[in-house]
Structure 1
């Protein structure tokens, strides 16, 4: 199941790279040269982290009776296949080799911060949606 999820995630990642591709004439949105900022990888990783936050809360707090393999299939499989640490690393290397070390450092830091923000936002928004706008304490009258 994890491998099947990974295949789905990899296909989604490939599709995203075809739609919004760094340094490719095949880009459907716009062409970016080899020295361009790696927006595709950043976007894919942030979206993947956001969805991981959604998944974590949804399976733990809402769909507690879901099949045990659903979390590894969707989390490790689909989202693991969709996100990409290797492209993140290679994009950083490429920026450095193209004489853009400050951009590379900025990319490293921005990706880490944006991915963390993505997962935190995914968790928070999912909890908000599942509780109807408040925490358990608020709904039971124990919150402020």
Structure 2
């Protein structure tokens, strides 16, 4: 039961964080132009989950509940593959095929780079 509660609380915090980032980013680039908020949360989330994974691998005494809270809850609530997919389809449906393709390429590439960077930073810290 503790694991379920940990994931739920983490998910609520992650979702609230995602909403906050969306509010901050909407003035930078309106979603109709390019989904910058979704890109930012997914790339930063990729970096943070990789950093957390190294931390949990190298640190003793970190319990399962804390790992579930951070990695499944917070990061799962913060990042959003479904929004990325919807926004890409909306760009394509609006005739903006090039922008849809750019979104896919940049999102996947940048998220993989975020994972790599998070692992590198984590290895250096722990």
> TM-score scaled by structure 1?
0.80
Computing the radius of gyration over CA atoms, which structure comes out larger, 1 or 2?
1
Quickly say closer, same or farther: Cα 1:31–1:101, change in 2 above 3 A: closer
What is the aligned counterpart of 1:41 among 34, 38, 43?
A: 38
State yes or no: 1:8 paired with 2:13.
yes
> TM-score scaled by structure 2?
0.90
Q: Which has the higher contact order (CA 8 A, sep 6+)?
A: 2
> CA contact under 8 A between 2:9 and 2:69: conserved in structure 1?
yes
Structure 1: runs of 5+ lacking an equivalent: 22-26, 131-144
Structure 1 stretch displaced more, 77-86 or 101-110? 101-110
Number of aligned residues: 121
Which has the larger helix fraction? 2
| Stretches (4+) displaced over 4 A | none
Query: How far apart are 1:99 and its partner, in Å?
Result: 1.2
Q: Which residue of 2 aligns with 1:32?
A: 30
